[in-house]
Amino acid sequence: MHVVFIEPRFPGNQKEFVRGLRDAGAVVSAIGEAPAEGLGDQLTSWLAFYEQVDSVCDEDAVGRVVQELHARRPVERLEATVEAHILPIANVRERLGIAGTSVRTAYLCRDKPAMKEALREAGVATAQSIGSGETDEIVEFAETVGFPLIVKPRAGAGASGTYRVDDRAQLDDLLPTLGVGRGPEVAVEEFVDGHEAFYDTLTIGGTVVHDFITHYYPNVLEAMRSRWISPQFITTNRIDTAEGYGEVRELGRRVIEALGVDTSATHMEWFFGEKGLKFSEIGCRPPGVRAWDLYSAANDFDIYREWAMCVLYGRTTQSPSRKYSAGIITLRPEADGRIAGYDGLDEVEGRFGEWIIDTHIPPPGSPTQPVEAGYMANAWMRFRHPDYDELRRILDTVGETVRVRAS
């Protein structure tokens, strides 16, 4: 089977999808934005063909290359795994008659107000929301729903460009800076408080064949705004046994049905608090921040190859062991500048070394990245442990012990 994969080089784990496809028996071609010489020897060896384009979101350019590749060898799948690529690639796929995620599903998973409307119609609890570029309409929504509110791009991902608005004065100040009233539209949502987590699946023909639940500590918006926090997320190995997860899994299946997800990875953010369980943003794609690496380490299986088996052949070949919980902790520098050194690393490695999966510790002299750049922008460590509560304790201890000095 010949598969064309979109953007194999960036982010860094994109090459693992190519490897998974190759290991599952596919002939893999790729389209990306980097020059061929920038792919590296390993990735290049896995690809049958590679073509550079200025933008993989340019549907005409990508469509032209896919047609050229099809003329060399018939293309049976066209796959993308990055949020910004899902909808344009669905458009190319539909135009060329290639199987995969539909334009309707890709649109509903990209446009936040349309997504939430579809979920509400299906009876899935989610935040009240509106998509608008009109100030008066947004103000009317705010007065009806009440503050606080969340304001973000209609097609955003994660916490990027997301704002919490606590009163009318903040709303009046924010909307003009986002271009509201001059053409651009934003998504405005009821603020849902409570614990934040995500539910990820692999589906075949709309049926969940693998699933995982992962918890944030603290919630993402707080984690991406506060330097002193060493944020974590942990995937649990109690998904089959702990009370309450059944409701999450059932609602997740209803989300998949409502949005028309067929054979794909999915990523679903959810909250649980005083208003009960509410689903938030849904992606018809794998999670970011290399969460799939944690799923593989926690479950003694190769999720990238398993994804490939699903999209290529519509079947699974492995079962997750649920042997470990696994998590990541971000270690942020005390200030912006350059890394000057680290305190506490030797102590952490001495106490918890057997549970370390891998680490990223930029050497002294490396430039720091801003807090809002995300969980893997600076130093981080990933761990696994058979007991979820003990893993939480380990990550908390790491956050309290390690200091990243910067100047």
Domains in the chain (CATH in brackets) are 2-100 (3.40.50.20), 128-190 (3.30.1490.20), 195-406 (3.30.470.20)
pLDDT at 153: 85
Cα distances (angstroms) measured from residue 32 to each of 17, 63, 82, 110, 151: 14, 13, 12, 21, 32
Pairing of β 27-32 and β 49-52: parallel
User: Quick check: 155 pLDDT over 80?
Assistant: no
Under 8 Å between Cβ of 266 and 201: yes
User: Quick check: 158 pLDDT over 80?
Assistant: no
Under 8 Å between Cβ of 315 and 203: no
- Beginning with the edge strand found earlier in the chain, give each strand of the sheet holding 49-52 in spatial order: 49-52, 27-32, 2-6, 77-79
pLDDT grade, residue 226 (50/70/90)? confident
Distance (Å, whole) CA 70 – CA 264: 22
Of 56-60, 190-194, 356-360, 388-392, minimum mean pLDDT range:
190-194
User: Quick check: 160 pLDDT over 70?
Assistant: no
- Name the phi and psi angles at 264, rounded to 5: -170, 165
Report the chain's mean pLDDT, rounded to a whole number.
Answer: 95
Under 8 Å between Cβ of 251 and 279: yes
Distance (Å, whole) CA 393 – CA 225: 23
| DSSP 8-state class, residue 80 | -
pLDDT at 41: 96
Under 8 Å between Cβ of 111 and 38: no
pLDDT digits 0-9 by tens, 192-211: 889 999 999 999 999 999 99
